[in-house]
Amino acid sequence: MSKRSHRKRVPQESVSTFVSGFSHEGRGIAEVNGKKTFLWGALPDESVTFQYTHCHRQYDEGKVISVENASPNRVIPQCAHFGICGGCNLQHLSESAQIHYKEAILLEHFAHQANTQPKEIAPPIQADPWGYRRKARLSVRFVPKKNKVLVGFREQDSRFVSDIAQCEILDSRIGKKIHLLSTLLMTLTAKAHIPQIEIAMGDEAAALIVRHLEPLCESDLTQLIDFAKQHQLHLYCQPKGPDSIHCIVPDHHHNTLFYDLTSYHIRMYFHPAQFTQVNQAINLKMIDQAMQWLNLQKTDRVLDLFCGIGNFSLPIATQCHHVVGVEAQETSIVQANKNAEHNHIHNTNFYVHDLTQPSQSTPWYRQSYDKILLDPPRAGAKEMMPDIKNWSPSHIVYVSCNPITLARDTKYLLALGYTLEKAGVMDMFPHTQHVEAMALFTLKI
């Protein structure tokens, strides 16, 4: 006998309710028939009508179809695809309210996990909230029923690809050309075998990495090359894994992207597949704040953990005695060394090491450091927390893309005798629920 399905029937009728709260995922929270219900498109203190999308034992989910009594924080979304595309889901919330919402989440996690609050809440780091995104992975799907190649982000709460013409948060060099990419791919014989296009943009050039599951015929490759040249794009192809990425256009060796850190007279080169911050305007302000919070002295030795291609390491090196950068990705460390050499910075050393693994036997671990910068991935820097005691730096600047792991690691640092001096949000991803933050810890004397 087959097991009985536990999937609950989704009611078809629309329901009116009052929205009392807001979740960390950017959904309104309502109580409907004694059950918590999460609503896409709803804001706190609104009366809305919604349609159920999923029903679970402990909670339900729905999507707003009309708003009867709107929040004063509600605005008209700028993007015509809002509500369908899952690329960003807070466009209906005013920009000032978005910042307040993200700051509240950060402080809530500090209180809940570390039982603390920063002595000072730093002003948020903000920039233009439109056309800011320089890196993204666009999904591609040929849909025979529509006789069209869709290029964009996944639909909200779905595996389908959004049918969009342009993207308001992507840098306009690509964001305004989504429909052109769709038209181009539709002409290719390999259109059903291209699952994604990764984009990366520097200050002067933009690149496309076309992932293809089958070899491209000569005519397809010619059309891609012509498109890249017409729109002044760099073109890369990826027939297999990341190691198979190779440059097609331009055909000379100077094909690397770059961005300038003008305040420090530094030019950062990078490969389009390497990690760089998606929002360059925020990145520049973020570096400036980190430098200020570190209170660098000419005699300081600084450790930059999760250093990437040297985004923080090289500016720091201009104002201190020596910088050691550590990163798991070997290609990033190679690039960091190249960037140091190109910018004539000679007081840095970079090491390849997986920072989730023991470090005690490595040469960089046995050195002394006055200050530390941490810029970990979403998983945080839990494995490094016991090692902080070994160095006992006077200042730690923690750059976080996940307030949950930041708060968790804060608890460790407080136990080691550090004070949470300052913390504040950075609006790296406007119109999304992502919360990026920076925190300053100082060692109690």
Q: Which residues are catalytic?
A: 401
The encoded tokens of residue 356 equal 């989730």
- Long-range contacts of range 3-12, CB-CB < 8 Å, 24 or more positions apart? 6/57, 8/55, 8/56, 8/57, 9/55, 10/52, 10/53, 10/54, 10/55, 11/52, 11/55, 12/52
Per-residue CA distances from 39 to 69, 95, 113 (Å): 15, 20, 26
The encoded tokens of residue 420 equal 């949470």
- Provide Rg for the chain, Cα atoms: 24
Measured distance CA(229)–CA(243) in Å, rounded: 24
- CB distance 422 to 120 below 8 Å: yes
Q: Which of 202, 93, 113 is nearest to 427 (CA)?
A: 93
Angle at 141 between CA 140 and CA 145, to 5 degrees: 150
Q: Which of 226, 216, 142, 156 is nearest to 186 (CA)?
A: 142
For residue 150, the cross-strand partners are 141
Q: Which residues of 101-129 are buried (b: 16+ CB within 10 A; e: fewer)?
A: bbbebbbebbeebbebebeeebebbbbeb
Measured distance CA(307)–CA(319) in Å, rounded: 17
DSSP 247: E
How many residues does this entry show for the chain? Answer: 445
